[in-house]
Amino acid sequence: MNCRINIALLSALLVFLPVEGSAQKAFTARQKSVECEKIKAACLHAWSGYKKYANGYDALKPISKKGHNWYGVSFLMTPVDAFDTFFLLGLKKEAEEAREMMVSGLNFNVDEEVQLFEINIRLMGGLLSSYGLSKDKRLLALAEDLGARLLPAFNSPTGMPYRYVNLKSGKTRDALSNPAEIGTYLIEFGKLTEYTGDSNYYQVAKKAALEIFRRRSDNDLVGTTIDVNTGAWKNTESQIGARIDSYYEYLYKAWLLFGDKDCLEAWEIHNKAIKKHLLTQVQSGWYFTRVDMKSGKETNPLYGALDAFYAGILALSGDIGTAAKVQQGNYYMWTHFNIEPEEFNFRTDSVLYPNYPLRPENIESCFYLYRKTKNPEYQRMGYRMINDILTKCKTDAGFAEVKNVKTLELSDSMESFFLAETLKYAYLLFAPEKTLDLSKFVFNTEAHPMERAKRE
Ligand code: DMJ
Mean per-residue pLDDT for 279-302?
A: 98
Contact predicate 67/53, CB 8 Å? yes
Pocket lining: 377 vs ligand 1, CB cutoff 6 Å: no
- pLDDT tens column, 40-54: 999 999 999 999 999
pLDDT grade for 454, boundaries at 50, 70 and 90: confident
User: What whole-number percentage of the chain has pLDDT above 90?
Assistant: 94
Query: Closest by alpha carbon to 37, among 446, 427, 301?
Result: 427
Dist. CA 446 → ligand 1 center (Å): 6
Of 245, 343, 377, 421, the active-site residue reads 245
- pLDDT tens column, 83-100: 999 999 999 999 999 999
Pocket lining: 446 vs ligand 1, CB cutoff 6 Å: yes
DSSP string, 215-281: T--TTS---SEEETTT--EEE-EE-SSTTTHHHHHHHHHHHHHH--HHHHHHHHHHHHHHHHHTEEE
Q: For residue 17, what is the DSSP state?
A: S
Pocket lining: 422 vs ligand 1, CB cutoff 6 Å: no
Contact predicate 163/181, CB 8 Å? yes
Q: Give me the count of residues in the chain.
A: 456
Query: Closest by alpha carbon to 323, among 371, 387, 358?
Result: 371
Pocket lining: 430 vs ligand 1, CB cutoff 6 Å: no
Q: Whose CA is nearest to atom 1 of ligand 1?
A: 446
Q: Is the pLDDT of residue 447 over 80?
A: yes
Pocket lining: 317 vs ligand 1, CB cutoff 6 Å: no
Best mutation site among 306, 356, 389 for ligand 1 pocket (most ligand atoms within 8 Å of CB): 306
Query: Closest by alpha carbon to 364, among 335, 343, 385?
Result: 385
Pocket lining: 415 vs ligand 1, CB cutoff 6 Å: no
What pLDDT, on a 0 to 100 scale, did the predictor assign at position 130?
98
- pLDDT tens column, 356-413: 999 999 999 999 999 999 999 999 999 999 999 999 999 999 999 999 999 999 999 9
Dist. CA 25 → ligand 1 center (Å): 32
Q: Is 249 a catalytic residue?
A: no
Mean per-residue pLDDT for 192-204?
A: 98
Mean per-residue pLDDT for 279-286?
A: 98
- pLDDT tens column, 94-150: 999 999 999 999 999 999 999 999 999 999 999 999 999 999 999 999 999 999 999
pTM score, two decimals? 0.94
Of 342, 364, 388, 401, the active-site residue reads 342
Q: Is the pLDDT of residue 305 over 60?
A: yes
What pLDDT, on a 0 to 100 scale, did the predictor assign at position 24?
67
Q: Whose CA is nearest to atom 6 of ligand 1?
A: 445
Closest atom of ligand 1 to 305 CA is 11
Q: Is the pLDDT of residue 456 over 90?
A: no
pLDDT grade for 455, boundaries at 50, 70 and 90: low
